[in-house]
Structure 1
Amino acid sequence: MRSGFVGIIGAPNAGKSTLLNQVLGQKISITSKKPQTTRDRIVGIVNRSESQIIFVDTPGIHKSTTLLNKRIVDQALLALEDVDLILFMVDVVSRNYSAEKLIISQLHKVSKPVILAMNKIDLAKKADVFKLAEEFQGLFQFRAVIPVSAKGNIQVENLIEEVEVSLPEGPRLYPEETFTDISEKFMVKEIIREKVFRLTGMEIPYSSAVTVDAFDVEKKLILIHASIHVARDSQKGIIIGKKGAMLTRIGTKARKDMEEMLGSKVLLKLFVKVTKDWYSRGRTLDEFGYK
């Protein structure tokens, strides 16, 4: 029996959350086409006959400017110290050279085995993938290099098998039926944030945060009150939309996903609040859970 923690790291939008959802066979980590969607460490547990693989999806590592992004990147880098194995994901189509350089430099500082997952191979030429593999093997001594497509489920099983044999021997660390350690309240917050990322443009996704103010389980439904926080007054109107249209779209799509996740009817009430420059204020970041 083998078990252990596997930290999934990479540049923003490398496909880390897509891979986690794929290996779990269900969605626990939110995704969007915009980079820096993930802000928290998300744990997903894959139980196999001879192993328990505890994946830790981390925020994208990048050169940060705001206090929020610095804390997010620090959280991702800390994960390197807490895991048994590191899974470094690279987007072979849209590379982030500065992030890759930063990550490689960090990998040289930790004495952990590292597997390189070269993602989105279905969108690239084979020759380019081979050339890129040679380039990375010259930068770091990886335990294995596996080309995959997380979204297309190409060679994902090969990747899991390589991860499995790279873990230390040991018993299951979680009950076999467990697939994550995150709470329903946290998932509700993330679902709302995903809809903001997917439905709004410009700077809005990066200037918004979500807090769940009430989560009350009643006989026939779950009552949820949540607030979408924005950094400036002008952003509040964009989130609400003309005659409340945008807020209604966000709420409708979020409620549908919540009901599917929770297996219950949900009454969702959304509020929009202006919390001035929240992403640069330490105390506010603490209150929002970005410590």
Structure 2
Amino acid sequence: MATLVLCALRLSYSKSRYFRAAFISSQPERDTERSHGKVVNVAIIGAPNSGKSTLINKITERKICAASNKVHTTTKLVRAMCYENNTQIVFLDTPGVVTDKEKRKYNLPESMLSACYKSLRCADVVGVVHDVSNRYTKDYLHSDIIGMLNAVDEIPSFLIINKVDKLKSKQQLLTVIRNLTNGCIAGNPIPGPGNSKKKDSKTEKGYNKFSDVFLISALNGDGVQDIKEYLMCNAKTAGFQYSPDTWTDQTPQVLIEEAVRAKFLDFLAQEIPYKLNIQLEYFEEIEEEQKILCSVVVECPSDRLSRLIAGAGGGRLQQIKSHIRNDLMDVFKKTVVVDINLKVKSKPTE
């Protein structure tokens, strides 16, 4: 039986479909009454750098949520929307779970943890993104994530196993799924040797109330469309919270500053980018030319760090600026002209 389930799992992923065993309950029927539209609010939570923002950007087809290759790129609650077939999906992108030690190390705002709980209170469904490529954490959910899910266990939730393309052995997936779901999906046990004995709740590594499990690669887009279809099927008739042409609740100023910050996180080593203060000093949108002009000041704590960021002859800064421009054009779907100015933080006068 376990072999059959594993074969089904392989077939499911090869077709970029999500893993739903035959014993999971069927999707709710589509509501034919569309006079008021359909809406679903989705809270996306997970450990830092698990791919939450990348997933949302893929589904909305717009780089709304800042994403980088470092932890704690997202520091506040961000709403991203997409509209299709009279259905509005409202994503609530949340910061990754953070400890007091990390807050001090990375100079993170106190509001990060509260942003996660705020998103949960606003959600109709919760999606948990888990990085399966991390060999140290792939087999268990972060304790804070489990705590959040237990706090809102009345809200339906689903598991998103991300970065499966980086997993060398696909045979490990069934074991990972059993661990992360405590061997139970939608109230039904997953067949196999791992579920033959009753488990001690103290040794459980996951959450046993997930209704569905998706296998995806958010960066490549594999399996992402299935999540979008799943959410659209679970949307309910309601008045739209935002107009159909609205794609975020963030201001252009915030979007630009966060895009700049994310790109500095990509290009600079260790804790350096977390020490920078980024502020938009000029913004102009020229509607008739479909163009945006903006200038951003990046305040550095020292002159030495400013020279390090600029690179030889300013080459590194020009490279960073080029990537920022491309990201902003993906955000606004317009031509963007951006200027980045480095500034050394002034010392307080005695």
Q: Could you say which TM-score interval applies, normalised by the shorter chain?
A: 0.7 to 0.9
Shift of 1:191: 2.3
Q: How does 1:102-181 map to 2 (within 5 A)?
A: 102-110=144-152, 111-124=154-167, 125-138=169-182, 139-140=206-207, 141-181=209-249
Name which one, 1 or 2, has greater alpha-carbon Rg. 2
Structure 1 residue aligned with 2:143, among 64, 76, 101? 101
Query: Closer, same or farther in 2 for the Cα pair 1:52/1:202, shift >3 Å?
Result: same
Shift of 1:205: 2.0
Query: Closer, same or farther in 2 for the Cα pair 1:178/1:68, shift >3 Å?
Result: same
Shift of 1:74: 2.6
Q: Secondary structure at the match of 2:108?
A: helix
Segments of 5+ residues of structure 2 without an aligned counterpart are 1-36, 183-205
* Distance in structure 2 (CA, Å) of the matches to 1:117 and 1:259: 28
Q: Secondary structure at the match of 2:171?
A: helix
* Distance in structure 1 (CA, Å) of the matches to 2:225 and 2:120: 23
Superposed CA offset, 1:95-153 (max 9, x none): 54797111111210123211111111222233221111111222321121222221222
* Distance in structure 1 (CA, Å) of the matches to 2:234 and 2:327: 35
User: Counting helix residues as a fraction of each chain, which structure ranks higher?
Assistant: 1
Aligned to 1:10: 46
* Distance in structure 2 (CA, Å) of the matches to 1:234 and 1:172: 51
> Which amino acid in structure 2 is aligned with residue 226 of structure 1?
V
Structure 2 residue aligned with 1:48, among 64, 84, 105? 84
Q: Secondary structure at the match of 2:280?
A: strand
* Distance in structure 2 (CA, Å) of the matches to 1:208 and 1:86: 33
1:82 aligns with 2:122: yes
Shift of 1:82: 1.9
* Distance in structure 1 (CA, Å) of the matches to 2:82 and 2:109: 29
Shift of 1:226: 1.7
* Distance in structure 2 (CA, Å) of the matches to 1:60 and 1:47: 26
Aligned partners of 1:89 and 1:116 also within 8 Å: yes
* Distance in structure 2 (CA, Å) of the matches to 1:20 and 1:11: 15
> Which amino acid in structure 2 is aligned with residue 42 of structure 1?
V
* Distance in structure 2 (CA, Å) of the matches to 1:228 and 1:252: 16
* Distance in structure 2 (CA, Å) of the matches to 1:105 and 1:275: 43
* Distance in structure 2 (CA, Å) of the matches to 1:136 and 1:35: 22
Superposed CA offset, 1:193-245 (max 9, x none): 12211221122122223111222346977543322134455433322333433
> Which amino acid in structure 1 is aligned with residue 156 of structure 2?
P
Shift of 1:29: 1.8
Structure 1 residue aligned with 2:72, among 36, 45, 54? 36
Q: TM-score, normalised by structure 2?
A: 0.70
Q: TM-score, normalised by structure 1?
A: 0.83
Aligned to 1:200: 268
Aligned to 1:288: none
* Distance in structure 2 (CA, Å) of the matches to 1:181 and 1:251: 25
Aligned partners of 2:302 and 2:344 also within 8 Å: no
> Which amino acid in structure 1 is aligned with residue 337 of structure 2?
V
Aligned residues: 276
> Which amino acid in structure 2 is aligned with residue 253 of structure 1?
H
Aligned to 1:246: 316
Aligned to 1:266: 337
Query: Closer, same or farther in 2 for the Cα pair 1:21/1:267, shift >3 Å?
Result: closer
* Distance in structure 2 (CA, Å) of the matches to 1:155 and 1:118: 10
Shift of 1:72: 2.0
Shift of 1:164: 2.7
* Distance in structure 1 (CA, Å) of the matches to 2:220 and 2:245: 26
Stretch moving more, 51-60 or 67-76: 67-76
Aligned partners of 1:239 and 1:272 also within 8 Å: no
Aligned partners of 1:8 and 1:86 also within 8 Å: yes
Q: Secondary structure at the match of 1:143?
A: strand
Structure 1 residue aligned with 2:131, among 69, 91, 94? 91
Shift of 1:275: 7.5
Aligned to 2:29: none
